[in-house]
């Protein structure tokens, strides 16, 4: 039942780990009328306690690292993390700079990667649709 | 005479020792290079008398034994006066926050990234480095390199 | 009695649904009035300035562009301008026009984005949906002209990498016409919709004197009557050849900041039409050396959020000796504490949003200590609290006007 809820109507927490903002804007754009992620039952929620999927952007700065972990721990099981954008995937242009960890998966487990600089709303929708499909297929 | 050239003339008239150390790079850019001892006088003249009422930012530079400071001032009408000075590493510059209350953040950047000492800087949270950043590590110094990946973490 | 009231310290951030970037505030409250605010920034600090020294000028154009995902053209242009000045390059006029065109289109997408976010902060999500739907028109145009919605990769040292073709001109004009109509609607909304005006008026006050003293820039400063705009005062790119007004307002509050941004949109549409009409023929780039001779320059640019300043020092190699960036939001955060002072907690989201904060610009490279007896509110709770608070009071209009009383 929970699995069905998670697949059919995943609620997302958005967390910016030190990104330039472009991916974050595109995530929100994906929820506005042109792209309308909401028709897939996806809702953006404000608190970790309500979310099924964490959509993380950014290369993870040192200042935010411990908060990222804390938020991840607050999300109830079952939970998934999606790395949105090149920075979240591998650090992007910031790879190797002194204050970044160079990717979300350096800190918490990641289930899916959506590339792009920024990841376009279409790519974000495609990425989430693919993730939801793999959930349906029992992973 | 352009705005910048007019300012250059006034500076040299007021501070003859600046001759040869002031120039107008273009119509809206003045560059001044001054010794630390003379800095306060020139700075206040620009701010109070010549109405450079805006401090855009302060650039720090690693110049080996010294730290370089460039105070980027601006006034209405688009003119900028960039005041350069230097200070031996380990010695202090005076804070400019009495004149520019919003300028403390630029001074804090210098203390974090260059290890600059700013006398009289009001208390506040550090900027921009994280709280768990190791003491004594100032990333914008030329000889600073990150240690092995992971070794920086507290 | 205010002094008998417990001070509640509310930590806000760095994770919160309201503002799209991490930063944290420590807010001291007496009842619902804010008595003190400390800001902790730096969550977005990535180490870009150091990175610039370790990469070539060409690589740095792409790095610097990504300081910010909303005003990437601003940073990219400010950077190459400084390098071009040091190298003594003369930018071809057509390149200047194309840079300016993309710069103004960026201002459009940024201000529409802001309008939507502001709507969201006051619980007016319909405005978010309308403005972001309209914004897609300019995003499509930017993608058509440059190949990407943001991070256009347009600039290079010495010019621009892509030309505008005659076939693209009608698209540009069509988008401008459509958005001008929509913007007129938003202006009418702002002027005639009473709940909107009341919600935004009288909050986040910043006097002209404080705006100057604390170094505010951009629409934030102009809404406090400060008549400064880098495009007019220190013209760069093609601005010296355009006719436009600098939009200021004397309200000194969030409503004023809204009015200024809407006015700037109207000015921008006119500028875009001029750019298209007057665009000169000619090359779009001059040859630039890989090694930039020793020298230094300061470049200023009027980004959507205000003055963006870049300093570059060259040392004769293909990598800069030093790159220093001061984005507009860092200047404006100094005023935020002042704006929040003596205001209500419910207003905090919109007051902060009104400076149009961009912390990724600011930090490029926030810890909350909670006293044991403090009550912690999540951001979502805080925003709902604000919405409820106003709803309760909107029944009695006179209550909204009386901010100084101890009704809280």
Q: pLDDT tens, C217-245?
A: 999 999 999 999 999 999 999 999 999 99
Q: C28 vs chain A: nearest CA distance in angstroms?
A: 22
Dist. CA C253–CA C36, nearest whole Å: 19
Q: Does C273 touch chain B (CB under 8 A)?
A: no
Question: C186 is in which domain, residue-wise?
Answer: 1-408
Given pLDDT bands bounded at 50, 70 and 90, which one contains residue C341? Answer: confident
Q: Is there a contact between C93 and C281 (Cβ–Cβ < 8 Å)?
A: no
The one-character DSSP state at C147 is S
Radius of gyration of chain C (CA): 22
Q: How far is Cα C20 from Cα C24, in angstroms, rounded to an integer?
A: 12
The reply to whether residue B131 touches residue A63, judged by beta carbons under 8 angstroms, is: yes
Number of domains chain C is built from: 1
Name residue C159's beta-bridge partners. C156, C285
- SS3 of residue B36 by DSSP: helix
Q: Give bridge partners of residue A114 from the DSSP assignment.
A: A84
Average pLDDT taken over every residue of chain C: 83
Identify the helix (H) or strand (E) that includes residue B117: strand B117-119
DSSP β-ladder status, A80-84 and A53-57: parallel
Contact criterion met (CB below 8 Å) for C358 and C305: yes
Which C positions 360-389 lie with beta carbon below 8 A of chain A?
360, 363, 365-366, 378-380, 383
Q: Is B76's CB within 8 Å of C42's CB?
A: no
Confidence (pLDDT) at C17? 44
- C220 touches C257 (CB < 8 A): yes
Domains of chain A: 2-136 (3.40.50.12280)
Residues of B with CB under 8 A from a CB of A: 129-133, 139, 146, 152-153
DSSP class per residue in A11-75: EEEEEESS--SHHHHHHHHTTSTTT-GGGGT-EEESSGGG-SEEEEES--BHHHHHHHHHHHHHS
User: Do residues C65 and C204 lie in contact, with contact meaning Cβ atoms separated by under 8 Å?
Assistant: no
Q: Is the pLDDT of residue C61 over 70?
A: yes
Reported as a single tens digit per residue, the pLDDT across A110-131 is 999 999 999 999 999 888 888 8
Where are the alpha helices (H) located in B29-133, listed in sequence order? 36-44, 104-114
Q: Is C37 helix (H, G, I), strand (E, B) or coil?
A: strand
**CA C364, CA C52: separation in Å to the nearest integer?**
12
Q: Is the pLDDT at C133 greater than 60, yes or no?
A: yes
CATH tag, B3-95: 3.30.460.80
Q: Could you check whether the bond before residue A78 is cis, i.e. omega within 30 degrees of 0?
A: yes
* pLDDT(C401) > 90: no
A45–chain C Cβ distance below 8 A for any pair: yes
CA atoms within 13 A on the CB side of A38: 11
Task: Find tokens 């792409």 and name the residue.
Answer: C62
- Domain limits, chain B: 3-95
Q: What is the mean pLDDT of residues C152-174?
A: 96
CA separation (Å) from B23 to B2, B5, B9, C51, C54?
A: 12, 8, 9, 31, 30
∠ CA A104-C15-C376, nearest 5°, is 140
Residues 6+ apart with CB under 8 A from A134: none
Distance of CA C379 to the CA centre of its chain: 22
Closest-CA residue of chain C to B3: C234
If you count residue pairs, one on B and one on C, with CB atoms under 8 Å apart, how many are there?
88
B127-152 tens-digit pLDDT: 888 888 888 999 999 999 876 544 34
Rounded CA-CA distance A2/A10 in Å is 10
Structure tokens that stand for B152 in this block: 């920086």
Instruction: Give pLDDT, residue C159.
Output: 97
Q: Name the residue among A91, A85, A98, A112 with its Cα closest to residue A10.
A: A112
Q: Specify which residues B30 forms β-bridges with.
A: B24, B81
Contact state of A98 with B152 under an 8 Å Cβ cutoff: yes
Question: Tell me, what's the ipTM?
Answer: 0.94
| CATH number of the domain bearing residue C38 | 1.10.645.10
pTM exceeding 0.90: no
**Running DSSP on this structure, what letter comes out for residue C245?**
P
Which pLDDT score is estimated for C408? 31
Q: Give the per-residue pLDDT at A82.
A: 93
Asked whether the beta carbons of C345 and C32 are under 8 A apart, the reply is: yes
């Amino acid at each position: 039942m929970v699995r069905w809820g998670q697949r059919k109507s995943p609620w997302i927490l958005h967390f910016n780990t030190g990104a330039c903002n472009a991916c974050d804007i595109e995530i929100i754009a994906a929820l506005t009328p042109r792209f309308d992620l909401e028709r897939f039952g996806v809702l953006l929620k404000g608190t970790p306690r309500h979310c099924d999927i964490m959509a993380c952007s950014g290369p993870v700065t040192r200042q935010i690292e411990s908060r990222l972990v804390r938020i991840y721990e607050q999300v109830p099981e079952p939970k998934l993390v999606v790395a949105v954008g090149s920075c979240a995937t591998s650090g992007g242009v910031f790879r190797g700079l002194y204050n970044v960890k160079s990717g979300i998966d350096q800190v918490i487990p990641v289930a899916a990667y959506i590339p792009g600089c920024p990841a376009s709303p279409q790519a974000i929708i495609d990425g989430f649709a693919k993730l939801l499909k793999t959930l349906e297929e029992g992973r | 005479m352009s705005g910048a050239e007019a300012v250059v003339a006034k500076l040299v008239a007021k501070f003859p020792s600046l001759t040869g150390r002031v120039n107008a790079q273009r119509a809206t850019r003045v560059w001044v290079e001054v010794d630390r001892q003379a800095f306060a006088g020139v700075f206040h003249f620009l701010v109070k008398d010549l109405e450079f009422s805006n401090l855009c930012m302060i650039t720090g530079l690693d110049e080996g034994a010294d730290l370089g400071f460039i105070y980027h001032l601006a006034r209405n009408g688009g003119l900028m006066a960039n005041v350069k000075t230097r200070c031996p590493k380990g010695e202090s510059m005076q804070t400019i926050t009495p004149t520019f209350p919003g300028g403390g953040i630029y001074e804090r950047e210098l203390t974090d990234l260059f290890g600059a000492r700013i006398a009289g800087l009001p208390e506040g949270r550090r900027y921009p480095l994280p709280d768990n950043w190791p003491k004594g590590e100032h990333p914008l110094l030329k000889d600073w390199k990150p240690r092995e990946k992971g070794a920086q973490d507290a | 009695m205010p002094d008998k009231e417990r001070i509640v310290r509310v930590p806000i951030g760095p994770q919160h649904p309201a503002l799209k970037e991490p930063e944290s505030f420590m807010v001291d409250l007496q009842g619902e009035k804010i008595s003190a605010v400390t800001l902790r920034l730096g969550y977005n600090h990535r180490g870009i300035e150091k990175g610039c020294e370790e990469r070539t000028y060409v690589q740095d154009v792409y790095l610097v562009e990504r300081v910010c995902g909303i005003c990437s053209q601003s940073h990219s242009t400010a950077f190459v301008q400084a390098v071009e000045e040091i190298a003594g390059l003369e930018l071809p006029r057509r390149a200047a026009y194309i840079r300016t065109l993309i710069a103004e289109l960026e201002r459009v997408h940024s201000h529409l984005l802001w309008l939507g976010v502001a709507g969201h902060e006051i619980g007016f999500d319909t405005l978010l949906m309308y403005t972001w739907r309209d914004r897609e028109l300019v995003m499509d145009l930017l993608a058509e002209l440059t190949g990407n919605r943001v991070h256009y990769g347009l600039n290079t040292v010495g010019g621009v990498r892509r030309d505008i073709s005659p076939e693209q001109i009608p698209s540009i004009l069509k988008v401008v016409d459509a958005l001008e109509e929509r913007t007129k609607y938003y202006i009418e909304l702002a002027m005639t919709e009473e709940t909107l005006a009341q919600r935004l008026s009288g909050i986040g006050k910043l006097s002209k004197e404080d705006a100057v003293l604390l170094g505010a820039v951009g629409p934030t400063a102009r809404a406090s009557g400060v008549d400064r705009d880098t495009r007019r005062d220190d013209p760069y790119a093609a601005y010296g050849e355009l006719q436009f007004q600098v939009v200021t307002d004397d309200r000194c509050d969030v409503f004023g900041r809204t009015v200024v941004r809407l006015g700037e949109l109207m000015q921008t549409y006119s500028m875009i039409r001029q750019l298209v009409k007057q665009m000169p023929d000619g090359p779009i780039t001059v040859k630039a050396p890989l090694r930039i001779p020793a020298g230094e320059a300061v470049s200023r640019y009027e980004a959507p959020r205000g003055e963006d300043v870049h300093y570059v020092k060259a040392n004769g190699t293909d990598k800069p000796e030093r790159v220093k960036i001061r984005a507009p939001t860092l200047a404006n955060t100094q005023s935020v504490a002042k704006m929040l002072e003596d205001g209500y907690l419910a207003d905090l989201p919109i007051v902060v949003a009104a400076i149009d904060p961009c912390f990724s610009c600011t930090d490029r490279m926030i810890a909350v200590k909670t006293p044991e007896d403090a009550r912690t509110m999540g951001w979502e709770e805080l925003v709902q609290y604000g919405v409820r608070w106003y709803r309760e009071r909107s029944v009695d209009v006179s209550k909204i006007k009386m901010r100084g009383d101890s009704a809280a």
